[in-house]
Structure 1
Amino acid sequence: MKCISRFYTQWGSLVAGLSLVGLSFAEQIHIAHCKDGCPTSLSDSTSTLSGPSAVQSEIIVRHLYAASISASGLADWVAYRVLPETVGVASLLPRYWRLDGLSRVADALESEVGESTRIVQPDLSNSQDRDYRINEVTLLEEDRGRLVPMTSFAGTPYWDELNYLSNMTLLPTELRTGAWSRLDQVVNELAQAGASYHVISGSIYSNELRDSSGMLIPELFFKVIAGADGLASFGFPAYVKPQASFCDFSLPLAELSSASGLSFFPNSNNLLPEDLIVDLGCQR
């Protein structure tokens, strides 16, 4: 109980398991996962890109992350905070997808993710048969990824929350295992050195990019990282070569805001300088 209490105190400015409908509610409560407020829609946005649905989103808050869920049931963005003690080894942690019961639009995912993705809700209450129950759970479709990485929270008792579909996006394999993953690794390394970072990660859609089955897929994947004294933002195209450096995809926050139609850190009077890119190992 000591361990659980410790982590709950670190992150929980409100009870995990909260679901809010409408982005406007994010400005009326304090969500510890979001630095200076969770992202809000730009009322005067001229962006030509959007989420998979233009209708009102809902916000889900869990121990490890907050997520804005569109009508499709997929996350438009997630926000989380990486701390020195949260990072861990995730190689042996089970990975499977399960519906998030907090989402009012969870049922939409049955058609959104496609028949090739196996969604399960395993019964792990009996620890004696935990292993074989985990081993029989498989994910058949590769181009599905977690916006909040397991490695950033393998050191917490809540890592299994990252298997919820509210943490899923249609992330191409070459990007997920390449530049995207390497950026996560660098953030983890900096956190383990004693720092903490707020991260906002998400996807931007257009009406033109679809996969082989005809399903709408993101055109751009973004990640905004904020430390104590600086921030950095990145925008990754859907198709990136495995050997590509994440440094090549740094993007000014203003451009990312325009493309996504989101206001980042809406409660901040003075945004941090965009010089965290140097700490991440990139040249300005």
Structure 2
Amino acid sequence: MKKLALGLIAFAALCSATTQAANCVYGCPTGKSGQVVTRSIYTISNNATTKFADWAAYQVTSATIDGPSRTRTWKADPSITAANTLEPADYTNAAAQLGTDRGHQVPLAAFSNTADWATTNYLSNITPQAAELNQGPWERLENAERVIARSGQPVFVVTGPLYEWYFGSLPGADESHIIPSGYYKVVIAVISGTVKASAFIMEQDSARADNFCSKEVTIDEVELRAGINVMPTLSTTIQAPVERSYGGLKSQLGC
């Protein structure tokens, strides 16, 4: 019985590692010490101080998108201690007073055709994101990810918040928290054996009409400002030129 139990534990660990690898193309980001939660469609690193994920990693494919219309039923993350995450009541009056949406880091639309789509509505995957940003350039960049995936090319994404200036506080929250001042997103694809990537940073005060293409930065800048290594297992000889360059997926993203 003991051998069976140990075998099951080892099998569970292997499954978790395999799933994480599927979500993170060259290793999940390093540099943060939060609680890492891996699910079938994404991996996040929860920050107990901010109450939001420091990073989220996911893979979009033609099979994960274009499912039926899905609902947004917000729930606290059952895998995270209540003291380290938010619950739905914490967002009371946030839209009216802050002008924010409940913004997905891992977008629901990217996984509407999967069995675990509802886990994108866990509040560990949500931040108070300015409505102008969420419904404007951020949404258009997420749409562009799905355009690439729809063509048959899998897309890997690493996204997360920045904390560089004070944005505000949730008026209904009963836990301490820190709302992001902006967000980064790195879009990665391996095309004909070549690693191509484009990175973007968008501030909370972005206008709805802003063009996401104008928000492009290098991955090096994202890593510097976010304090992470986006692709830690990618060889240095390949990683260095990819991370210091612009426009790796420019044409594929419609820029």
TM range (shorter): 0.7 to 0.9
Contact 1:89 1:154 survives alignment (8 Å)? yes
- Pick from 218, 230, 233: which aligns with 2:199? 233
Query: What TM-score, normalized to structure 2?
Result: 0.78
SS in 1 for 2:182: strand
Cα 1:247–1:114 change in 2 (3 A) is same
User: AA paired with 2:71?
Assistant: P
2: CA distance, partners of 1:206 / 1:14: 38
- Pick from 27, 35, 41: which aligns with 1:37? 27
> How many Å apart are 1:66 and its aligned residue?
0.3
**Deviation digits for residues 22-57 of structure 1, max 9, x if unmatched?**
xxxx9xx95321111111118xxxxxxxxxxxxx41
Cα 1:167–1:212 change in 2 (3 A) is closer
> How many Å apart are 1:13 and its aligned residue?
8.9
2: CA distance, partners of 1:107 / 1:261: 21
What is aligned with 1:277?
250
> How many Å apart are 1:176 and its aligned residue?
0.7
- Pick from 129, 134, 139: which aligns with 1:181? 139
Matches within 5 A, 1:1-284: 14-15=14-15, 31-41=21-31, 56-71=33-48, 72-89=50-67, 92-105=69-82, 108-110=85-87, 113-116=90-93, 142-206=100-164, 208-211=166-169, 213=171, 216-228=178-190, 229=194, 230-269=196-235, 270-271=238-239, 273=242, 274=245, 275-282=248-255
SS in 2 for 1:277: coil
SS in 2 for 1:200: strand
SS in 1 for 2:160: strand
Contact 1:13 1:30 survives alignment (8 Å)? no
What is aligned with 1:7?
none
**Deviation digits for residues 179-204 of structure 1, max 9, x if unmatched?**
11111111101111110011011101
SS in 1 for 2:143: helix
2: CA distance, partners of 1:176 / 1:262: 23
**Deviation digits for residues 84-137 of structure 1, max 9, x if unmatched?**
1111145x31102101111135554249944447xxxxxxxxxxxxxxxxxxxx
> How many Å apart are 1:247 and its aligned residue?
0.2
Comparing 253-262 with 207-216, greater Cα deviation is found at 207-216
User: AA paired with 2:250?
Assistant: I
2: CA distance, partners of 1:149 / 1:217: 19
1: CA distance, partners of 2:47 / 2:105: 15
User: AA paired with 1:219?
Assistant: S
Cα 1:186–1:84 change in 2 (3 A) is same
2: CA distance, partners of 1:60 / 1:257: 21
Structure number with higher helix proportion: 2
Cα 1:78–1:256 change in 2 (3 A) is same
Comparing 77-86 with 214-223, greater Cα deviation is found at 214-223
Structure 2: state its 5+ residue gaps: 1-11
SS in 1 for 2:144: helix
Aligned residues: 224
2: CA distance, partners of 1:216 / 1:169: 10
Cα 1:30–1:96 change in 2 (3 A) is closer
- Runs of 4 or more consecutive aligned structure 1 residues displaced over 6 Å after TM superposition: none
2: CA distance, partners of 1:184 / 1:111: 24
> How many Å apart are 1:212 and its aligned residue?
7.6
**Deviation digits for residues 141-195 of structure 1, max 9, x if unmatched?**
8521111111111111221111111211121111111111111111101111110
2: CA distance, partners of 1:241 / 1:169: 18
2: CA distance, partners of 1:85 / 1:184: 16
Contact 2:74 2:123 survives alignment (8 Å)? yes
Structure 1: state its 5+ residue gaps: 1-11, 17-25, 43-55, 118-140
SS in 1 for 2:250: helix
2: CA distance, partners of 1:162 / 1:111: 14
SS in 2 for 1:263: coil
What is aligned with 2:3?
none
